[in-house]
Amino acid sequence: MVRRSGFPMIGRIVVSQFEEMLALATRLAEEAGEMAMREVGAAPVRIKADNSIVTHADLLIEELILDTIASDYPDHSLCAEEATTRTSSPADRVSARYCWVVDPIDGTRNFALGFPCFCTAIAVLDHGRPVVGVVREHNSGVTLSAVDGGGVMRNAVVVQRREAPTERDVLIGVPSSKDTLTLNVVRRFSETRGLVLRNLGSTAWQTAMVGSGSVAGAFARRCKIWDVAAAALIVTEGGGVITGPHGESRERFDLSADTNDNVSVLAADPHLHEQLLALITQSTH
């Protein structure tokens, strides 16, 4: 499948604004990578209340990103993993048109242990609908990005995707969580001919790669809005489909919801999505 390149003519002012926000998000993700790579495997670690970990680098990167956005776009709201509310941003997440959703380091455990797969994810939501998405994997230096209607870019070059041949094995990203549904789904996937499972330790990165065609599908369980908001746009702009694990719409995120609420997603190429949904349904019986 080949996606169109270029931006939709929905009003040049709006399109230019999206381009400007994409440029800022890309630059901030690159700066985040420079900071992260200086501390990989050596950053001080703290255990959070939910038993996940945070490093000093997470906090420094998030501060840089949020301070820059608040300065450049004071009327936009902010939602980030380590600081879900900020006094420096006067805009309310529910009432503001645009909300920036930031994960400073997705794959923090990988980062803390020196395992070379972690990324920064930045999305811009328009009343909850992703219109800009950037996910940068810092070890490879690869940035996947998208704006609404513009297709997917890999390091600023438009990705030309093709349908994956159905007779070949395809890669499916799976989560690390060990709840009953996840374990049943992973078992069902692993027993299905043609599906080869991968767990990269970064939800944002393995989901975004569905949009670039490197991964045919990705199931994410018990993640947060900042894990999937940027990747969701990259998936759809790459011609893929992203829903909840039972087919629920993921075209728009509820910014009035508690940011601690879990979000589960299933992203896949269109020809594969229905099959994966069926396998998940079978896993619940």
Q: What is the pLDDT of residue 108?
A: 95
Q: Quickly name the fold that domain 170-283 has.
A: D-Maltodextrin-Binding Protein; domain 2 (3.40.190)
Where exactly are the structural domains of the chain? 12-158, 170-283
| Strand stretches in the chain, DSSP E | 45-47, 53-55, 77-80, 98-106, 119-126, 129-137, 142-147, 152-154, 157-158, 170-173, 195-198, 217-223, 241-243, 263-268
Written as six digits, the tokens of 117 are 């797969």
Q: Mean per-residue pLDDT for 30-58?
A: 91
CB distance 229 to 143 below 8 Å: no
Please write the tens of the pLDDT for every residue from 140-159.
999 999 999 999 999 999 99
Same topology, domains 12-158 and 170-283? Answer is no
* Beta-bridge partners for 154: 144, 157
pTM: 0.91
Q: What is the pLDDT of residue 240?
A: 96
Which CATH superfamily groups domain 12-158? Answer: Fructose-1,6-Bisphosphatase, subunit A, domain 1 (3.30.540.10)
